[in-house]
Amino acid sequence: MFVTSAFAQESAPAADTSHAATEGETHSGTSVPAEHGAFPPFDPATFPSQLLWLAITFGLFYLFLKRVVVPRVGGIIDVRNDRISQDLDQAAKLKGEADAAVAAYEQELAEAKKNANAIGQQANDAAKAEAETARKKIEAALDEKLGEAEARISSIKANAMKEVGSIAEDTASAIVEALVGGKATKAEIAAAVKSVAG
């Protein structure tokens, strides 16, 4: 640091006196002798040199900040701003793609539901048509079998009625024989059975 000539002159004799003082008596501690005056940074005589070095140091530090630190910090901030804007643009692009994908998915889902409903309705209609066709076939078969059964019943009834007449005639002749003891002619018995049946 810059040293004034007054301080240099004062410090030389002080060294001699301190040496002489050490011969006669010992001092403890690091006390400054009173003849030196004030502590140099607080000494008004050294203020001009201190202010000069303060201005030089501040100017150099200012130039260092202006030429080196501030451009680097500004460059870092610009790079970060660019990166953030790129990230925001990329995020907006990805969001647009995601929204488009969601819209396409919802449209496909709606179409799939519509197709599923149409397929279900077609299957339902086909099942109803098949059931109706099967019912008609079964009804036709049943009607045919019913007609055949009625025809058989009619023929059996007709045969039974023919036999009923002969059985009735045989039974009536047997009853007449048993009750009256005589025999009646077949014509009389047949007439009597017809009159009762008719």
pTM listed for this prediction: 0.36
Is the alpha carbon torsion for 79, 80, 81, 83 positive or negative?
A: positive
The total number of residues shown for the chain amounts to 198
User: What span, in angstroms and rounded, lies between the C-alpha atoms of 100 and 20?
Assistant: 97
For the chain, how big is the Rg over CA atoms in Å? 70
Task: Please say whether the beta carbons of 173 and 189 come within 8 A.
Answer: yes
Residue-wise pLDDT tens digits, 119-149: 999 999 999 999 999 999 999 999 999 999 9
| Burial classification of residue 143, based on how many CB atoms lie within 10 Å of its CB (0-12 exposed, 13-18 middle, 19 or more buried) | exposed
Distance (Å) of CA 154 to CA 69, 149, 150, 197: 124, 8, 6, 18
Q: Could you state, in chain order, the average pLDDT of each consecutive group of 10 residues for the chain (198 residues)?
A: 51 46 51 62 86 96 95 94 95 95 94 94 93 92 91 85 73 76 71 71
